[in-house]
Structure 1
Amino acid sequence: MAAFDSDSRATSRTVLPADVTTVAAGATGAELALQASRALFSHAPAVVLVGDQDQASMANAGAAAVELGVPVLLTTAEDATAAALREELARLAPETLIPVGDAAAGWAKEHPVEGAEVQAYQAGKLPRLGAAAPLDKLLVLALDRPEAAAATATAKASRAQVLVIKDPDPRADDEVIKTIAARQSTHVLGLGSAFGPADRLRNRIDTAATGILLPGGRQVVFPNRRMIALYGHPGDAGLGSLGEQPVDKAVTRARKVAAQYSALVKEPVVPAFEIITTVASSDPGPDGDYSNESTVEHLRPWVDAAGRAGIYVLLDLQPGRTDFLTQAKRYAELLKQPHVGLALDPEWRLAPHQIHMVQIGSVSGNEINKTAAWLAELTRANRLPQKILMLHQFRTDMITGRSAIDTSADELSVVIHADGFGSAGEKMATWDNVRAGAPAQVWWGWKNFYDEDKPTFSPKQTFAVEPSPVFVSYQ
């Protein structure tokens, strides 16, 4: 079959992926280019070729593919990939191959494709093709990396909405979130294994589409921010710095304390409230659980004021003889707010025979996992930004089976908060002890005590701790 001439109006046939969310797996440039072509085109009257190592020709190849509305594929000396390329060319059934650069020209000469002629690339002298149907309901995510260049050009050639991003998690960038929220896309294609699995990408896209940001930006908690918190219970100065003033003055104080850290790091420093939501009690109370549970109505003014002020909130549980999940569910209404996370304090989680201040409580990794799974599902179902799940600890026996804690939930950022007090040496000993043997994928928090520490660490000393804590609370 002869190559088409300048008057030809042959047209590519684009296809919308069958699944609402698709991840085109692949790591190398050649693999990604093949996957993009398979996902987006059922036929192409021409195909642009470029060598997989020919970076100098990549820009011209991509521009030619976009102008023509056809795929760009990478030639390679690797046998398996070369065979896959020949198979894809047979499927696309092009009339013309347009190699860009010497490597692609050599490959095209050595691997003739039945029914297709080779037309040397000449800038400004490309064939004229008809416009394929635009895939305007498809959002394609591509990473801003050299190996994704050909696949990205193919996506643009399909006339889909293409978003080139630096992080495979679209929740990690304010501008990406804003763009996704503004676009009306029914389908999503992620180019590269880093975007997978597909159900995780779907949940991330659904969250990004809300446009809701955490205090300090983004929808992923850490890295790229620090938090400095006042800890305590509203109206009770004896339980920590938070309760030493009414809510409006607590907002001002939290901002001032956080501001002391701002000059020490490049990332935003966000003020926070850690509110003791259920308070350990020496009295069993009507329900016999040795825990006084605050009402949602009592906490709401603090949570709402924090939200208006750009302050993150952690609801801290001291459950006594009940379990963390039972108490957490009491506050689902507050936890549905995007700036509210959850803290579990095992010191105050009692066994049936234990009494506060007589024994130090503890919790199993299994109970933590059940609570985490519930919180992750609540976050996912309500398309909320990632939430902090904080675990307080100052002795290793406070969390049994800690190595089995599941930190993989994409909806949660797990922080282990070391609560040691005393001299600098005592605090560092607690820090080192708690950190030993910790589960993977956790962040670290640090507590400064105004009265019990001797002396209280300065902001500079606090951030100098290794690893530098992402969350610091003041009691």
Structure 2
Amino acid sequence: MKKHIVVVLSLSVLTLLSSCNQGKAADEKVEIEKVKTASVDTVKKKAVSTIDTVDYNKRMIALSNDTTGRWPVKTPYPLPGAILPYNRIIAFYGNLYSTRMGVLGEYPRAVMIEKLKGEVAKWNAADPTVKAIPAFHYIAVTAQGAPGKDNMHRMRMPFKQIDTVIKWAKPIDALVFLDIQVGHSTVKKEVSELVEYLKLPNVHLGIDPEFSMKNGEIPGKKIGTFDAADLNDAIDIMAKVVRENNLPPKVFVIHRFTQGMVTNYKNIKTLPEVQVVMHMDGFGSKVLKKSTYLTYIKREPVQFTGFKLFYKNDNWNDWKIYEPEELLKLTPRPSYIQFQ
């Protein structure tokens, strides 16, 4: 929707009584032209830094699938180029060093990519109103049972591995998420190490509270936690990268499957530069997964939502993996679907 902005400049009537006053009038004319130029420049800048808010609101209402007023969440409008709610992200999760951490590292590259394309096609068929796009969600920092040289209980993957994933993403125009398991480290330290990658327009961030051990426990022995303050550290870093590099908004995925994994959710920042996805990360039966989604994701709204599907752990005994048509009935409808 175009807005017409009219700049009105009022001038006092000058009585030209002398050459001195004529000089004054000339000076004022110059100043007026400066104001006009500045005003036009301001209008131009505003024009390129806004989105179609009517369209955005309609999409958010449709995505919310809710009549209670809880969804959609009222947040600042995103910068132009935002991925959500215009797209639905279909991501394969994993690590190239492990065939057990997720589908991303389980199959040969060509097989994995074709499998991902198939999932994207299924979602586009199920919901043509929101374009499904592919993504690789790569665990760039993994929690460790052993303390390591710096006693942080985490291992940073070599940059060459991240470069490989980014290279794989390019031919299929896929997004790349770098996922962080901090162990005994901090969000600020680990995200700061990845800033150069976050400067790339298609690189985004994921973070896993499960492996944030606040009291010195060994990762994997207890479910960890992040407070809103921890998450805001990541949001602040990403927002700064977006502003300084004139980028479209970053997507920030936060894994969650218990109440205690995220505390003080109401204090999580929502900014035009960052789109926050609270992602349901549990596995099990359909009943259990839906209950987790409704209890921890729907009831504590932040901005957007995600839903994780496990090819193996959700397909066990009499359990069956969710189909797109089933997930589209959820309130709210997830914007991010991750396969492990």
TM norm structure 2: 0.77
Residue 400 of structure 1 aligns with which residue? 263
Residue 284 of structure 2 aligns with which residue? 422
CA contact (8 A) 2:137 2:176 kept: yes
Change beyond 3 A, Cα 1:92–1:419? farther
Aligned-partner residue type, residue 239 of structure 1: M
Q: Distance in 1 between matches of 2:40 and 2:53?
A: 17
Q: 1:41-78 CA deviation, whole Å, 9 max, x = no partner? A: 447xxxxxxxxxxxxxxxxxxxxxxxxxxxxxxxxxxx
Q: Distance in 1 between matches of 2:123 and 2:223?
A: 33
Q: 2:174 aligns with which of 285, 289, 311?
A: 311
Alignment of 1:261-272 (within 5 A): 261-265=123-127, 266-272=129-135
1:260 paired with 2:122, answer yes
Residue 138 of structure 1 aligns with which residue? 40
Residue 105 of structure 2 aligns with which residue? 243
Residue 89 of structure 2 aligns with which residue? 227
Q: Distance in 2 between matches of 1:135 and 1:331?
A: 40
Residue 4 of structure 1 aligns with which residue? none
Could you say what secondary structure the match of 1:381 adopts?
Answer: helix
Aligned-partner residue type, residue 473 of structure 1: Q
1:334 paired with 2:197, answer yes
CA contact (8 A) 1:247 1:302 kept: no
TM-fit CA distance, 1:465: 2.1
Residue 460 of structure 1 aligns with which residue? 325
Could you say what secondary structure the match of 1:263 adopts?
Answer: helix
Residue 235 of structure 2 aligns with which residue? 372
Residue 6 of structure 2 aligns with which residue? 36
Q: Distance in 2 between matches of 1:405 and 1:458?
A: 31
- RMSD between aligned residues: 3.3
Aligned-partner residue type, residue 377 of structure 1: K
Change beyond 3 A, Cα 1:376–1:37? closer
Q: Distance in 2 between matches of 1:353 and 1:249?
A: 40
TM-fit CA distance, 1:268: 1.2
- Percent identity, aligned pairs only, is 26
Residue 218 of structure 2 aligns with which residue? 355
Decide which structure has the larger Cα Rg and report it. 1
TM-fit CA distance, 1:140: 7.5
Task: In structure 2, list runs of 5 or more residues that go unmatched.
Answer: 15-32, 58-75
Change beyond 3 A, Cα 1:162–1:350? closer
Aligned-partner residue type, residue 297 of structure 1: K
Residue 184 of structure 1 aligns with which residue? none
Aligned-partner residue type, residue 314 of structure 1: F
Aligned-partner residue type, residue 126 of structure 2: L
TM-fit CA distance, 1:410: 0.8
Residue 306 of structure 2 aligns with which residue? 445
Q: 1:364-404 CA deviation, whole Å, 9 max, x = no partner? A: 11111122111110111111111101111000101122221
CA contact (8 A) 1:235 1:244 kept: no
1:297 paired with 2:267, answer no
TM-fit CA distance, 1:337: 0.6
Q: Distance in 1 between matches of 2:241 and 2:116?
A: 28
Change beyond 3 A, Cα 1:340–1:162? closer
Q: Distance in 2 between matches of 1:459 and 1:369?
A: 31
Give the number of aligned pairs.
294
TM-fit CA distance, 1:235: 3.6
Aligned-partner residue type, residue 116 of structure 2: A
TM-fit CA distance, 1:406: 1.3
Could you say what secondary structure the match of 1:138 adopts?
Answer: helix
TM norm structure 1: 0.56
TM-fit CA distance, 1:168: 5.2
Q: Distance in 2 between matches of 1:276 and 1:224?
A: 26
Change beyond 3 A, Cα 1:381–1:248? farther
Residue 17 of structure 2 aligns with which residue? none
Residue 472 of structure 1 aligns with which residue? 337
Task: In structure 1, list runs of 5 or more residues that go unmatched.
Answer: 1-31, 44-90, 94-131, 143-160, 173-199, 209-218
Could you say what secondary structure the match of 2:190 adopts?
Answer: helix
Aligned-partner residue type, residue 338 of structure 2: S
Q: Distance in 1 between matches of 2:333 and 2:83?
A: 16
Change beyond 3 A, Cα 1:136–1:281? closer
TM-fit CA distance, 1:309: 2.1
Q: Distance in 2 between matches of 1:167 and 1:293?
A: 40
CA contact (8 A) 2:56 2:85 kept: no
Q: 1:16-59 CA deviation, whole Å, 9 max, x = no partner? A: xxxxxxxxxxxxxxxx98x7242xx447xxxxxxxxxxxxxxxx
TM-fit CA distance, 1:319: 0.9
Aligned-partner residue type, residue 122 of structure 2: Q
Residue 107 of structure 1 aligns with which residue? none
1:167 paired with 2:57, answer no
